[in-house]
Structure 1
């Protein structure tokens, strides 16, 4: 089976889809065979990105690597646990010839999302730089702001990791990425960071930098492109030094996740 990267967080707006499409395209340009699976069957941001990509490339006579994609219908959002697991396993089997499978999940607790977390080799959880987002991972005391306990989502990931270890002897690498870091409000950032670090020791995840809040990450989405795609032949927007910085940011992120461009490092873990 291909290695599975699940981009998960039960809060909407944390940047899951943005992160998923950038991981997917970076791996594609590294030569990896990448499968894509969008479990947010109502919103389908990842699936729409792939559709946009195919349409833009065809209309402009351009070439860029494409993922293998399995589409799931919206009715699965309300499917019972057993049916969700069966449909997910069928989709993963269809993508088993890939090197890696990138799975985008909804900002909610669903049977499909829980099943995907249980099958992951790596779980990547983006969070914005605020206590609003941290609340998805851990609960703090409203008076002292000290960490009280992990959240339900953290417990879900913990149980998935425990079950995987017992069943196969392999652990799930859980990474929390500090996404969209604000340029100001250093005191709030320090407070959030202290609680994230405390929770990481308790819940067993690694903490790393995500993607900053850059216009380039948003303006390329309608074309089905990312910063990894830009080249002399693919340039729907004018280039700037900010784009160079964004490309390096993506490289740094891939390195922190243990992913060489072709995904070989994750496969070797």
Structure 2
């Protein structure tokens, strides 16, 4: 079964829900953490959100959602939970493509009418389901660890003045997905690359940021400021919480500390960069100068 053929049949159908895909050929870059934070941020602004986990080997997003439900039941505190589903698939391109496409189509059935956003978490590598998801994306978010090794997974940057950056296998796969999507329904996938696990001592500036800025125009992505390396995110995953959730005496923390506030601000900047949230004419919650995302999702502190 041809990837472009089956993806075109879905892409060309009338759609309402905005599809956000968290993708990277490399594992361990924080795709599931990004997916959950994006979903909760959208839920907190009153949007209807579905999440889909395509990584059946790890099922990190599925476990994140389960932890969230368990935490809500255990504490009695209501938190917004996305409508979640996972899609079984079988490894690489050659394995059961028809079955994979049918499972993904079943998971997507009805979401356009029922939800405003669909957030899809993909597995590492070149799985058939992942490639299909990339072709369905309206927004593609690629977390990239602050490492030259991880940068190589995206593309090669020659020394200054010695040519243009070139894309690696993943960048080439994204370019192909964008081309096929454009031919299917005329839409352009908005690709955002965000540094993750930036050392806190770096004051938010990733060491690979200058290279990514140079690569952005050639490879066709928009660069987002980094998310710092924080053990907080492991704690949040275990509780099923995000940096956008409120805290009280029965939660993981009695009140947001500096790490919570810093993580929340970084994730706000990512949401601003994605440009998916818009607020009304009232004064922003955070006061003058507050970003649209901050105004929409700032909890009562």
1:245 equivalent among 258, 262, 268:
262
> What are the Cα deviations for residues 8-46 of structure 1, in whole angstroms up to 9, with x where unaligned?
001111111111111111111111111000111110000
Q: Secondary structure at the match of 1:51?
A: helix
Where does 1:83-94 land on structure 2 (aligned, <5 Å)? 83-94=99-110
- Whether 1:58 and 2:73 are equivalent positions in the alignment is yes
Among 179, 195, 198, the residue aligned to 1:181? 198
- In structure 1, what is the equivalent of residue 288 of structure 2? none
Residues in 2 aligned to 1:252 and 1:14: alpha-carbon distance in whole angstroms: 18
Q: Which runs of 5+ in 1 are unaligned?
A: none
* Residue 214 (1) aligns with residue 227 (2): no
Q: 2:271 aligns with which of 242, 248, 254?
A: 254
Query: Segments of 4+ in structure 1 off by > 4 A?
Result: 144-148, 183-186
Summarize the Cα distance change of 1:234–1:211 in structure 2 as closer, same or farther, 3 Å threshold.
farther
State the Cα deviation string for residues 186-209 of structure 1 (Å, max 9, x = none): 9x955x334322321211111111
Aligned partner of 1:165 in structure 2 is 182
1:64 deviates by: 0.8
RMSD: 2.6
Equivalent pair of 1:31/1:261 in contact (CA under 8 Å):
no
On the 8 A contact 2:20/2:138 being kept in 1, the answer is yes
Normalised to the residue count of structure 2, the TM-score between the two structures is 0.79
Larger RCO, structure (CA 8 Å, separation 6 or more): 1
Q: Partner of 1:11 in structure 2?
A: 26
- Once residues 32 and 233 of structure 1 are traced to their aligned partners in structure 2, the CA distance between those partners, rounded to angstroms, is 28
Unaligned runs of 5+ in 2: 1-14, 280-291, 293-301
Q: Could you tell me the TM-score, scaled by structure 1's length?
A: 0.87
Give the SS at the match of 2:124.
Answer: coil
Aligned-pair distance for 1:163? 1.1
TM superposition shift of 1:225:
0.9
Name the count of aligned residue pairs: 260
CA contact (8 A) 1:147 1:195 kept: no
Please state whether the residue corresponding to 1:209 is helix, strand or coil: strand
Looking at structure 2, the residues matched to 213 and 47 of structure 1 have their Cα atoms a distance apart, in angstroms, of: 22
1:57-76 alignment to 2 at 5 Å? 57-73=72-88, 75-76=89-90
State whether structure 2 residue 221 is matched by structure 1 residue 205.
Answer: yes
Cα distance in 2, alignment partners of residues 25 and 254 from structure 1: 11
Structure-2 separation of matches of 1:49 and 1:25: 12
Query: Relative to structure 1, is the Cα distance of residues 86 and 180 closer, same or farther in structure 2, using a 3 angstrom cutoff?
Result: same
Cα distance in 2 for partners of 1:135, 1:83 equals 33
Alignment match of 1:131 (pick from 131, 148, 152): 148
